[in-house]
Amino acid sequence: MSIISVSHLKKYYKIYKRKPGITATFKSLFSRPYETVRAVDDISFEIKKGELVGFIGPNGAGKTTTLKCLSGLLYPSSGDIKVLGFKPFERKSSYLKKISLIMGQKNQLWWDLPAMDTFILNKEVYEINDHDFKSNLAEITHLLDVEDLIYQPVRQLSLGQRMKLELVASLIHKPQVLFLDEPTIGLDVVMQKKMRDFIAEYNKKYKATIILTSHYMSDVKKLCRRIIIINKGKLIYDGNLESLVEKYADTKIITLEINGVFDKKEIPFMGKVKINQEGKIIIIAPKKKTNYIVNKLFRKYELVDLNIEDPEIDDIIRYIFEKK
């Protein structure tokens, strides 16, 4: 059973463009050329219960817009969305009680009050009983290590601290479906890891369905088995990480250390060759020629070390984006 099903979702915006300068400003008083931006352009996918899916795409690809449509903030230009059997845009209370949208730059917390005041309000809004509230709060604040911060006015906290408390506020009702937009933005490395562990734990423990967007590939690599790649509003890839590598990586990276002098011209079809700071030779070889090249290397040189790897996922994804 799909928890989330999106079919042929489109979201177009109208924006008006204006050139810089005073004359352009005056002109814009009388005529405004509008342009349609296809933020999301015919995207379909299904997500099952308990899946943790990573949304990847460059800035402006349509990731956040998709999440906003899923959480009912935006009215789709066309297409159908069903989440937990609800149409998100209707924003029924029973739907909103089961989901949460967490955005790196959004503040749900009351700015001038301690976070605890927001939590108590949320307790009533989501109709959580005293016992659950206490245990949820204790558990989440402990996991995120923010027990001491909940009684301080939010405006006095650092970005990272605030981010963690936003997460507490968004999870206090134990949502079944979670939309996470850049959950690790602005966090230090230690916190990024903690946050990641927390998301993985939450997913496992509550069988929660989670969609996550992130600029940090490490978030996605660590957390998501399935990824959806979006670029310019279109869906480019939907599947697991390993198959992505198989499908798109047409190169292998050969790292070697040799005794003697290396001459690039001795072996044909070699692709790009770099020498790194430690003196290691890095060859980005076409996948089909890898065997051939390695054979040749064995014959020609006295090898100290040899390593063959797939390219980094970041590189593959960059390659996909640049190609399209």
- Interface with another protein (CB under 8 A): 13, 68, 71-75, 89, 91, 93-94, 96-97, 99-101, 103, 105-108, 110-113, 117-118, 120-122, 124-126, 153
CB of 125 to another protein, least distance (A): 5
Q: Kindly tell me which of 105 and 291 has the beta carbon lying closer to another protein.
A: 105
CA separation for the pair 286, 12 (Å, rounded): 40
Q: Kindly tell me which of 68 and 174 has the beta carbon lying closer to another protein.
A: 68
CA separation for the pair 248, 233 (Å, rounded): 20
CB of 77 to another protein, least distance (A): 10
DSSP state of 269: S
Contact 240, 221 (CB under 8 A): no
CA distances from 71 to 46, 65, 101, 271, 281 (A): 15, 10, 7, 46, 49
DSSP state of 51: -
Q: Kindly tell me which of 36 and 291 has the beta carbon lying closer to another protein.
A: 36
CB of 248 to another protein, least distance (A): 32
CB of 112 to another protein, least distance (A): 4
Q: Kindly tell me which of 232 and 289 has the beta carbon lying closer to another protein.
A: 232
CB of 92 to another protein, least distance (A): 8
Tell me which residue of 239, 233, 247, 248 sits closest to 57, measured CA to CA. Answer: 233
Tell me which residue of 6, 24, 4 sits closest to 16, measured CA to CA. Answer: 24
Parallel/antiparallel/unpaired status of strands 302-309 and 234-240: unpaired
Q: Kindly tell me which of 94 and 277 has the beta carbon lying closer to another protein.
A: 94
**DSSP three-state, residue 267:** coil
Q: Kindly tell me which of 57 and 72 has the beta carbon lying closer to another protein.
A: 72
CB of 144 to another protein, least distance (A): 20
